[in-house]
Structure 1
Amino acid sequence: MNTMKKTVAVAAIAALGLTGLAGCGGDAADDGKGHVYYMNNKSEVVDQLQQIADLYTEQTGVEVEIQTAASGTYDSTMSSELSKSNAPTMFNISGYDQFAKYQDYVEPLQDTEVYGKLTDEGKSYSYKIGEDSYTLPYAAEWYGIIYNKAILEDYCSKDYAVIDIVDDIVDYATFKDVVESIQKHKDDLGLAGAIATPGLDASDTYRFGAHMTRIPLFYEYRDNDTTFMSEIEGTYVDNYKDFFDLSVENSPTEPGMLSSKTYDDCTAEFSLGQVAFYPNGVWAYSNIKGNEVADEDLGMLPYFMGIEGEEEYGPAGVYDASWAVNKNASEEDKQATLDFIEWMVTNDEAKKILAKDCGFAVPFTTFGEDEQPDNPLTAAARAYTEAGKTELRSFTIPNQQWQDNITNALVEYAQGTGDWATVKDAFVNGWATEWANNEESLGMLPQADKFSAEG
């Protein structure tokens, strides 16, 4: 997702507006079967997608062309390519703002065979207008409170421990007691702090603006039995405050220095075994592995904030990356594109590339437990669903401006130059302001459905 720290694998893409990957397959391509033109925005998986394209053309004779837009140029590239006679037949949508921009190009997919293969969670994240569903989520990720099992097991062996085993942490009150106890005895445990620094450098603020904000939002939507409100009351923003304060007070960094701590700094605290807890997502594994925390010692708790009913939920899921099909393509090319997508999520070789090589947890029923990414954090998050917990849904947030305003208020609050009322104002009043701006500029708002039917 665009708010997460991603590593761009192909440096050349950064210098070019577009990288062409024509998977034409030479003589293998059959012009009579239609063709697929995929506009991709994930530059970190260029090679893997090309491998998939070549394999499909080799097996079916259908031409698959993949183009990848450079980071930060996807919208401008899409606008240019969609105006051409040979426009993309499928493209990526990441976030509601992109869906709104390309609403005139998206084909309804709810009656297709491939849509039927989505998991229930995947279907709930498909962007809808009325009864029509227009996108196919293809990469599920989760976030919560990552923890180091070895540190917690060592802590639990101490006389001063407030829990006997890690599994005793089932709510915010217990989590808070454990964090404060570890902080009090950090020297004896050989730690720098109980919880990783809540860094407020720009590289790290997505954790607080894009992810942590969605926890109180989820429960306010739950209370109102809806999946969207353009105005909110901020019912649980003070629970957000409690969690943020707990992190500030029990991390290795003084409050006034939070804005100087980068994503890499905060991740290093956890990956080097200096802290027990790290609120973040499964994507952090690429930066954690190979350091001081063994794979078998990685676990994940839900985002506990002291909200009634939260013990029934697991970590939060986010499904920002989706496929869409161009409704203006020829019927032949649309069918070729739908066939290609269905093949990607049913063919054993393609599934392996998506899950193991790209690292995507693909939300289709065609993927078995052994066909998920080799990521212990993904396994830890998915274990909650297998245990009967409900996945906490990440509802869409307005835009980057809303996140930035919250972050700026958090910096002032942490430094003592601002108060919490300013943070709450950025959260609540900023929400209404930015959705009003979106409605004016995009011409639409997210569809509100019954919460009980969505998750």
Structure 2
Amino acid sequence: MRFKKALSLMTVTALICGSLVGCSSSKDSSGGSASGDVTVDIFQFKVETQEALQAAAKKYEESHGGVKINIETIGGGNDYGAGLRTKFQSGQEPTIFNVGGPQDVEDWASKLEDLSDQPWVNQAFEGTLGSVTTDEGIFGMPFAQEGYGFIYNKQIFEKAGIKPEEITTLAKLEEAIKILDSKKSELGIEAVMSLPAKEKWVTGLHLLNVALGNEFASGKEAYEAKKLEFKYSDQLKKILDLQAEYSYMPDGTKASLNSVDYAMQTEQKFATGKVAMIQMGNWTYQAISGVNEEIGNNLGILPMPLEGVNEDSIPVGIPMYWSINKDKSDEEKAAAKDFLNWLYTSDEGKEMVINDFNFIPAFKGYEDESLQPKDPLSAAVLQYSNDGKTMPWVFMGYPSGWGENVVGADIQKYLDGSMSWEELVKHAQDTWEDERK
């Protein structure tokens, strides 16, 4: 996630719009009729899968005559939430859009169609719908499962003589980082890591989640919490300081970490072999392999070790949900529901979800060997999940904008020296409580 919000990526400063037109006819897979001239406008956040989504839409159009699907994508370095608000305020309301969890469900309640009657609901894995479920219904369809941690270059680790399977604690991680740092010239790297502090979703959502994902059991619990204890703030500081100390600094100062964005971190530094590790998730596979296929095929994920708590685990969760605009015509809503159901439950759609989107599905029905994740990062996330070495994603339960605009911004101040860690923690607690009043 970018999501997200955050969440998402690949020459990430672009706003990309594509429209697709198809032909022929077919009865829709949900049992209703998607025939007739109907246009479905999709406004979505996941930049790295926009081409795959466009291809899926085209394939759907070819077998569903009269349906046209327009796709507009904004994410990565751009604020999806702000973009979505602009779309609605301008009167260009999409048919399908994305929500992240309890806070978004509350914020967009007047626009969300109840999806409780959709055929995919009973196929969703346990726990994946809780963040978008209220007494009134189910208001989102899971994108996929995603996980993040410290992505590493296996070739560099092997050359340095480091065994990643032994890195299961913060102390072991720090030891490995120091070895890499001592061998930079030999390994041909500029720095051990790259921290994109310009991307406040990386720090204020994902990094912060390592602490709050162990304070709260779920996004819903975080959403309902009136106060933030921030019980693991000291441990979080250690993870941030470790990254900052050993990350690429454009001008040699920690303040310059605030100028590093996703593209510089992932595509310019990591994907070119100039750094050995980055904090990022399985969604980056396509961007990395697009720059350097050899590096893309030699990736692994290390834990995000919160000292003394879940040191061998990574955060795993649902990055975003598909939602449908309740104010659209019945024909548009029927076509939108049918497209989403087709994408995730038809044989043709499932093959694309795995092989083109590189998703880890959040639904049953993908047990066949041919539908197992092919890229190394998704396979690694799935292995962490199977081993029970995960912590929840709770950042979608933060107050609206709080993670990025408060904590993410304050981490930038901490890095440039204008705010102490103690001040950051106090400000986080106070603003959380103010937002919950």
Q: Which moved more, 1:5-14 or 1:128-137?
A: 5-14
Q: Which residue of 2 aligns with 1:250?
A: 246
Secondary structure of the structure 1 residue equivalent to 2:427: helix
Please give the alpha-carbon distance, in whole angstroms, between the structure 1 residues aligned to 2:281 and 2:393: 14
Instruction: Report % sequence identity.
Output: 26
For the 8 Å contact 2:120–2:341, the answer to whether it is kept is yes
> 2 CA distance for matches of 1:309 and 1:287?
29
Change (3 A) 1:79 1:180: same
* Structure 1 residues 166 and 21: CA distance shift in structure 2, 3 A: closer
CA contact (8 A) 2:310 2:391 kept: no
Q: 1:214 aligns with which of 205, 209, 213?
A: 209
Measured after TM superposition, the shift of residue 333 of structure 1 is: 6.8
Q: Describe the SS at the equivalent of 1:284.
A: helix
Does 2:122 correspond to 1:116?
Answer: yes
Which structure has the larger Rg over C-alpha atoms? 1
Change (3 A) 1:417 1:302: same
| Cα 1:152/1:400, change in 2 over 3 Å | same
SS in 2 for 1:212: helix
Residue 98 of structure 2 corresponds to 92
Unaligned residue ranges in structure 2 (runs of 5+): 75-81
Residue 356 (structure 1) aligned with residue 355 (structure 2): yes
Give CA deviations for 1:28-85 in whole Å, capped at 9, x if unaligned: 689x925575331138566654554454455465x433233464643343466698xx
Alignment of 1:252-331 (within 5 A): 252-253=248-249, 254-267=253-266, 268-289=268-289, 290-291=291-292, 294-311=295-312, 313=313, 315-327=314-326
Q: CA RMSD in A?
A: 3.8
1:197 counterpart letter in structure 2: S
**Are the structure 2 counterparts of residues 372 and 40 from structure 1 closer, same or farther at C-alpha, using a change threshold of 3 Å?**
farther
* Cα deviation, residue 5, structure 1: 4.7
2:166 aligns to what? 168
- Report the CA distance shift for 1:73/1:65 in structure 2 as closer, same or farther (over 3 A): farther
Instruction: Report what 2:405 is aligned to.
Output: 404
CA contact (8 A) 1:317 1:394 kept: no
Is the CA contact 2:366–2:372 (under 8 Å) kept in the aligned structure 1?
A: yes
Matches within 5 A, 1:14-413: 21=20, 23=22, 25=23, 33-34=33-34, 38-42=40-44, 44=47, 48-49=52-53, 51-53=55-57, 55-56=59-60, 58-59=62-63, 63-69=66-72, 71=74, 73-78=83-88, 88=95, 90-94=96-100, 96-124=102-130, 126-130=131-135, 132-156=137-161, 165-194=163-192, 196-200=193-197, 202=198, 204-222=199-217, 226-228=221-223, 229-253=225-249, 254-267=253-266, 268-289=268-289, 290-291=291-292, 294-311=295-312, 313=313, 315-327=314-326, 337-368=336-367, 370-371=370-371, 374-390=374-390, 392-396=392-396, 397-400=398-401, 402-413=403-414
The answer on whether the counterparts of 1:402 and 1:431 sit within 8 Å (CA) in structure 2 is: no
Query: Contact 1:147 / 1:301 at 8 angstroms: preserved in 2?
Result: yes
Q: Tell me the equivalent position of 1:451.
A: none
Distance 1:91 1:179, change over 3 A: closer
Letter in 1 for 2:273: G
In structure 2, give the amino acid aligned to 1:42: Q
Q: Is the alpha carbon distance of 1:183 and 1:375 closer, same or farther for their aligned partners in structure 2, counting shifts above 3 Å?
A: same
Distance 1:192 1:12 in 2: 31
Instruction: Describe the shift of the 1:361–1:412 C-alpha distance in structure 2 as closer, same or farther (beyond 3 A).
Output: same
- CA shift digits 1:264-321 (9 cap, x unpaired): 333333223333321112233333224386334210012112142443x3x2224233
Relative to structure 1, is the Cα distance of residues 370 and 106 closer, same or farther in structure 2, using a 3 angstrom cutoff?
A: same
Q: 1: CA distance between counterparts of 2:54 and 2:196? A: 37
CA contact (8 A) 2:316 2:385 kept: no
Counterparts of 1:326 and 1:198, CA distance in 2: 37
Aligned equivalents of 1:299 and 1:49: distance in 2? 26
**Rounded Cα–Cα distance in structure 2 between residues aligned with 1:166 and 1:27:** 52
- Structure 1 residues 136 and 376: alpha-carbon distance in aligned structure 2, compared to 1, 3 A threshold: same
Bigger mean CA offset, 134-143 vs 239-248: 134-143
Q: CA deviation at 1:383?
A: 1.6
Change in CA separation of 1:348 and 1:212 when aligned onto 2, cut-off 3 Å: same
Query: In 2, Cα distance between the equivalents of 1:9 and 1:245?
Result: 26
Gaps of 5+ in 1: 157-162, 437-455
Q: Which amino acid aligns with 1:77?
A: K
* Contact kept in structure 1, 2:40 and 2:332, CA below 8 Å: no
Q: Secondary structure, in 3 states, of the residue corresponding to 2:238?
A: helix
Q: Distance in 1 between matches of 2:44 and 2:327?
A: 23
Contact 1:148-1:293 within 8 A present in 2 as well: no
Please give the alpha-carbon distance, in whole angstroms, between the structure 2 residues aligned to 1:9 and 1:209.
18
CA distance in 1, matches of 2:114, 2:229: 34
* Equivalent-residue separation in structure 2 for 1:374 and 1:166 (angstroms): 21
Q: CA deviation at 1:372?
A: 5.2
TM-score, L = length of structure 1: 0.76
Q: Is this contact kept in 2: 1:296–1:376, CA < 8 A?
A: yes
The one-letter code matched in structure 2 to 1:259 is N
Any idea what SS the aligned residue of 2:142 has? Answer: strand
| CA pair 132-354 structure 1, distance change in 2 beyond 3 A | same
Structure 2 residue identity aligned to 1:261: V
How big is the shift at 1:145? 0.6
- Amino acid aligned to 2:276: A
SS in 1 for 2:143: strand
